[in-house]
Amino acid sequence: MTRILYVEDNDDNVFLLTMRFELLGGYEVLTAADGEAGCAMAAAETPDLILMDLDLPIVDGWEATRRLKADPATRAIPVIALTAHALTGAREKALEAGCDDFDTKPIDFDRLVERIERLLAKGGNEKD
């Protein structure tokens, strides 16, 4: 079972992505609705991977990622940034903050799962 922490303030996105992972199987999805709660959850639960929305209340996704990567307890957890920003430089800014990978919204679920599995160095035969 792969444990994913999804840090996202949009309830619809949380619902949809959680449902997709449940249907896929093999994944447990933890959620947090802001960057501060996300950092606390990451430290408490040490998930296998974090999906980080960048536009978040209280602490945004860039700062939350900086904090996670500055903390020895959480720095090894891969972070995939998710943003609706198709702006030039958004990817570079996310990678500078310490994100391991980057993807754009609306989420292409199959592509996202490929990124997750690549980051976790998984084979393609664990979906069953």
Determine, following the binding rule CB under 5 A, whether residue 36 of this chain makes contact with Mn ion.
Answer: no
Separation CA 57–CA 76 (nearest Å): 24
Phi first, then psi: give them for residue 108, nearest 5 degrees: -90, 105
Q: Which of 9, 34, 101, 103 binds Mn ion (CB under 5 A)?
A: 9
Separation CA 50–CA 5 (nearest Å): 5
Q: Which of residues 73-92 bind Mn ion (CB under 5 A)?
A: none
Q: Considering beta carbons, is residue 9 or 101 the nearer one to Mn ion? A: 9
Determine, following the binding rule CB under 5 A, whether residue 34 of this chain makes contact with Mn ion.
Answer: no
What does the per-residue mask of binding to Mn ion show for 40-59, with x meaning CB under 5 A?
Answer: -------------x-x----
Residue 54 CA to chain centroid, in angstroms? 10
* Binding-site size, Mn ion (CB under 5 A): 3
Q: Considering beta carbons, is residue 53 or 103 the nearer one to Mn ion? A: 53
Q: Considering beta carbons, is residue 25 or 57 the nearer one to Mn ion? A: 57
Phi first, then psi: give them for residue 6, nearest 5 degrees: -105, 110
Phi first, then psi: give them for residue 18, nearest 5 degrees: -60, -40
Binding positions for Mn ion, rule: CB under 5 A? 9, 53, 55
